[in-house]
Structure 1
């Protein structure tokens, strides 16, 4: 019996992607929303909606409720997307027990690969190479586990890696480089693993100093057929989480690629795998290994779900992996039906609301305007509306930009072109940082390892500072010219923006700066943001014989009037604030106080009133978006008062403690 309607047990850009894949096969879809109306990016794609009072992680982690929603919306199948319950064997079983079709691997396959420790055992049993390690670290009250770890480090040498046995995404992961770091690293890794996955079991491994993160896309059906649909490189990461992925993985020898694909297929067959999945490997990219025909690689984990980065594989193989998930769930075979030869090169960028200058911490907040650029080889996977909000309740990824070209160089150039022509007016994002990476020779002309960002962070920031300053005067003149025109005005009927017309007359001049605006975009305003206005557009500058494009956004938000200009992909702002609106962030009175860098829960307070603290001393630990963040003292001083307690929820910039700065 074929699937007629699928319930999407997820949100954001992956919900949109699943709905699109279902539509190609004539399958209807149902999804969740909160507020007055569904998000605009799902309108016209999703046939039925379930309205909830509020979206939060607990909602999407409630297996029974998800099944109830599927039945309520008269669906006969469930697709979990990625994250949340996508790799939860119990959820898969509940779906099938309710008489619904589970669009994904079997519950048995999910369970066998759920624990990294058990997955390592299965990998070793089927001749898949693994990094030397301890599969399950027994945490004991008498501290005997510390001796086990230290003995392992003495045998294999520091650094070593601690990671959560039941999860991924960098959560519960710590690199330990010295004996004195072992105890605290174990405590932190276990705490983060419990918060993220509900299980504090850890794995200990030898840490590779020059690793690449390469994964193989596998696909299986219920008839016993398994294929390897190429490979992807995901080495450019921050906080052990990917931000750039590309396919095929560059630089692998033909022998290494073949052995890696064969290993991935063996592992998939060992657990009777069906649907889309990924087998992840670490490749030793040390100078003495990278030039060998038989480059060394080691099993990392298996993701029993669709990956965030699946679009790059789809692009080079010309296959719809989501549609194939539905076909396989309907009992179809993949034998002799999927493309096996990749064509071209594809790269994906993850767009985050995060502060790249502050340890890549999440920076949720308003999206004043979003107008993506579309061109040859460009694909967007967006999870935000033209006017929207990035909530602190979920991962701060706003979407993904994918560029495909004949080769890697063309794909990079298309990414740069698209980013510089895209309006994404948000207080803080990683777009400028991604542009710096794309321009950096160590990325464009060579093959990065997972150390890329750590090794080149200072150079990337310097490139951004230099470029930002070089364009500052031009940007200020553009901002001034835009502000001299009409401001966004209020309107009686919410839902559609009234555009400011004739923003620039063609060939109008500003001293030696000539510019005009051939493209202005009218966008629908989601009902939940009906009190916000924005005008979005793209224009051209002709200055001293040089032609340069720019983007702009004029917006009104909570009484503020903002003008944003994107010049070569770098953002420039001006803001008008009414007298009764306070500036966001820390006030001058708080500059010597200790504040929360992100919204979240206080996991631990490490100081008390009267304590003397040193510069960079950790004073508290916060948990936000399932990650732990250290709050450090910016200077030496004395704690006057601690204002929070363990378990308390705090907002970004909320005072955690008052202190006196030590005299120089």
Structure 2
């Protein structure tokens, strides 16, 4: 077994590998960029080596620097994690040439499966079912257009060297193909250095089901069952679960055997995933009619590997290390079995209600549910960050992975919702509440799954408000009173802020901003400073008879949470005051409400119109207009790239382009003005 390994990655996967290696008595070496100098994965390893600047191309993609770090520290092997260099055949070969063990498949297998078109031709020879499509080397745009027309719409354009949903476009009619192809090729070239694409039939009502495979150097290959990854946004996974709901033993065996055949066809060694698209011609209620087609093989460990670990009881990272050291697979196929059900939720820094735009910022509050990290248990939380860390624009926006396990799918779903409710993140936008909406939706609970679930269920998933103005305002008022009582001077009744009066009662007014709209709360104090009644109303004029009103009762527990009662509702609320905002977390969901101080904002006027700003930090890819062009509301104006994804900036109104303030290739900060529009 190895004495020391280098982990050529960052974040939660680096922490995950370090934890398993430590348990096995193996020393670890971290590598880090400028942005990650104080990152959690650096502290998790025994040694650390700085390898360059914050951008991946200046650090984590510089494999020559990584090899130098391995030689300098005496590491015998390199674990690539996932992403970055994990599926880079040149890096795998360079490791071998340097006398280092690449903890993954041989370079030849990565090469064979790395190009989607080549891998599909290989799978066709191996007898693995394929979706109708074009995987040819001729990349002439007119030829690709003709092939798409021949296949029949809708079609998918996919980067041949792609992965992770990048370089992929759905085209529903012929006239949209050329623009989608150009965008796909740009993103593919940016992400993978290769703009070649393939075109394939878009399967209706598809599910994304993948098989975990493992091979060793003795020629043994097994499959560790399946994972359903159908819940996706922008072709990237949101929730993953194992086993796949509705999977029959017969279909599981056929898919598993096909995946093993695929692995054997390329002499595969280590952990890999064979991904299938599954058609449901008989509908959601007829799983026995499902048909599967090969999509691609990921020649690495997957982000969602913990759900496989949960249902099998195996540590896949330990398997990787043992196989890379030349040991045989720990178990035969007949020794593997499924126990219970597991679900993984990817917690990301993004705004689902704004087209999933990535978010950056500091994790000012970062509270996790009770869990057993990296171990099989009811709740597991894998992350690579700590409270106070910053989520930067340089890397993937995933913050953490929440994994739950139960005896049944229903039990796992209940644990997932409870654990998400206990996950409190303040400082930047996240998808935690969106994940709760998805897990609670009837479609997901009833396993009516396909890759369009999120779009199909948009009405119940986006722009939801689970708490509501009355409770949000009551929680903010109660939190304010608690903080004031904790800090008030003792012994001087005239310095107290609890509404005390020698005679009669007093009243206090609070102004709020809730979901972009003004609201007012009026608190009536009773004798001896006791809060008597609270009245909450939307609008600027103040509380009236139509508002929510009643006694405001609250007590604070030892954990800081409030037992809150107002207007006939009772809940447990944890409130974090950050500047002028109150972040309210309850079992029903979470929300934000802003306190408005009229004096603090006196004299502030609205900004001038005609401005278009960057919704996130990133790079300007292109402009679709020039100064003097007339544009209509909704017309695409510019394309930005952030966290390896392209985002289109559209005109908010009709107008004329007055000035472009940046050039393609420029890096811009969030809120930077990109161009000016004048009235038409």
Retained in 2: the 8 A contact 1:41–1:383? yes
Partner of 2:399: 398
| 1:514/1:654 CA distance change after superposition, 3 Å | same
| Aligned partners of 2:382 and 2:400 also within 8 Å | yes
State the Cα distance separating 1:309 from its structure 2 match: 0.3
Distance 1:622 1:567, change over 3 A: same
Structure 1 residue matching 2:131: 3-state secondary structure: coil
Q: Which residue of 1 aligns with 2:92?
A: 92
* Aligned CA distance change for structure 1 residues 178 and 546 (closer, same or farther; 3 Å): closer
Question: Which residue pairs with 1:239 in the alignment?
Answer: 234
CA separation of 1:466 and 1:540: change in aligned 2, threshold 3 A: closer
Distance 1:56 1:330, change over 3 A: same
2:573 corresponds in structure 1 to: 550
Cα distance, 1:298 vs structure 2: 0.6
TM-score, normalising length from structure 2?
Answer: 0.85
What SS class does the counterpart of residue 253 from structure 2 fall into? Answer: helix
Match of 1:162 among 157, 160, 163: 157
Aligned to 2:390: 389
The answer for the alignment partner of 1:365 in structure 2 is 361
**Post-superposition offset of 1:363:** 1.1
> Superposed, which structure 2 residues align to 1:168-187 within 5 Å?
168-187=163-182
**Structure 1 residue 33: Cα displacement:** 3.7
SS of residue in 1 equivalent to 2:465: helix
Note closer, same or farther for the CA distance 1:393–1:577 as it changes in structure 2 (3 Å cut). Answer: farther
> Which whole-Å CA distance do the structure 1 matches of 2:381 and 2:649 have between them?
35
Task: Map 1:220-299; keep pairs closer than 5 Å.
Answer: 220-287=215-282, 291=286, 293-299=288-294
Cα drift, residue 625 of structure 1: 1.8
After superposing the two structures, state which structure 1 stretch, 68-77 or 390-399, moved more. Answer: 68-77
* Matched ranges for 1:323-334 at <5 A: 323-334=318-329
Structure-2 residue corresponding to 1:16? 15
Q: Which has the higher contact order (CA 8 A, sep 6+)?
A: 1
Contact 2:42/2:48 (CA < 8 Å) preserved in 1?
no
Residue aligning to 2:420: 419
Q: 2:619 touches 2:641 (CA, 8 Å); kept in 1?
A: yes
Q: Which moved more, 1:129-138 or 1:218-227?
A: 129-138
Deviations 1:268-305 (A, max 9, x none): 01111111110000000244586152421110100000
Post-superposition offset of 1:541: 3.6
Equivalent residue, structure 1, for 2:543: none
Give the distance between the partners of 2:78 and 2:226, measured in 1 at CA.
Answer: 27
C-alpha change, 1:600 and 1:256, in structure 2 (3 Å) is same
Between Structure 1 and Structure 2, whose CA radius of gyration is higher? 2
Residue 638 of structure 1 contacts residue 661 of structure 1 at CA under 8 Å; is this kept in 2?
Answer: yes
C-alpha distance in structure 1 between counterparts of 2:234 and 2:486, whole Å:
43
- Which deviations, in whole Å up to 9, do the C-alpha atoms of 1:136-176 show, x marking residues without a partner? 35233xxxx32x33433443321111000001111111111
User: Pairwise mapping of residues 27-46 of structure 1 onto structure 2 (< 5 A)?
Assistant: 27-33=26-32, 39=38, 41-42=40-41, 45-46=44-45
- Map residues 515-554 of structure 1 onto 2, 5 A cutoff: 515-520=554-559, 538-541=561-564, 548-554=571-577
Distance, in Å, in 2 between the alignment partners of 1:199 and 1:539 is 55
Cα–Cα, structure 1 residues 591 and 262, in superposed 2: closer, same or farther, change >3 Å? farther
Q: CA separation of 1:35/1:484 partners in 2, compared to 1, >3 Å: closer, same or farther?
A: farther
Is residue 2:607 matched to residue 1:606?
no
In the TM superposition, what are the counterparts of 1:562-573 in structure 2 within 5 Å?
563-568=582-587, 569-573=589-593
- Output one character per residue of 1:58-112: Cα deviation in whole Å (capped at 9) or x when no partner: 1101110111112222211110000000001111111122222211111111111
For the 8 Å contact 1:605–1:646, the answer to whether it is kept is yes
* Structure 2 unaligned regions, length at least 5: 372-376, 488-528, 533-550
Q: Assess if the C-alpha contact under 8 Å between 1:253 and 1:295 holds in 2.
A: no
**Count of residue pairs the alignment pairs up:** 613
Matches within 5 A, 1:587-606: 588-589=606-607, 591-606=609-624
Match of 2:669?
A: 651
Provide closer, same or farther for how the CA distance between residues 478 and 10 of structure 1 changes in structure 2, counting only shifts above 3 A: farther
Please, which of 341, 345, 365 is the counterpart of residue 337 of structure 2? 341
Please, which runs of 5 or more residues in structure 1 have no aligned partner? 488-507, 521-536
SS at match of 1:373: coil
Give the secondary-structure state (helix, strand or coil) at the position aligned to 2:135.
Answer: strand
Counterparts of 2:641 and 2:339, CA distance in 1: 43
SS at match of 2:67: helix
Tell me if the contact between 1:421 and 1:550 (Cα under 8 Å) persists in the aligned partners. Answer: no
Q: Is the 8 A contact 2:3 2:76 kept in 1?
A: yes
Aligned Cα RMSD in Å?
2.8
| Contact 2:51 2:65 (C-alpha < 8 Å) held by counterparts | no
**Alpha-carbon deviation of 1:472?**
2.4
Asked if the contact 1:211/1:286 (under 8 Å) is kept, the reply is no
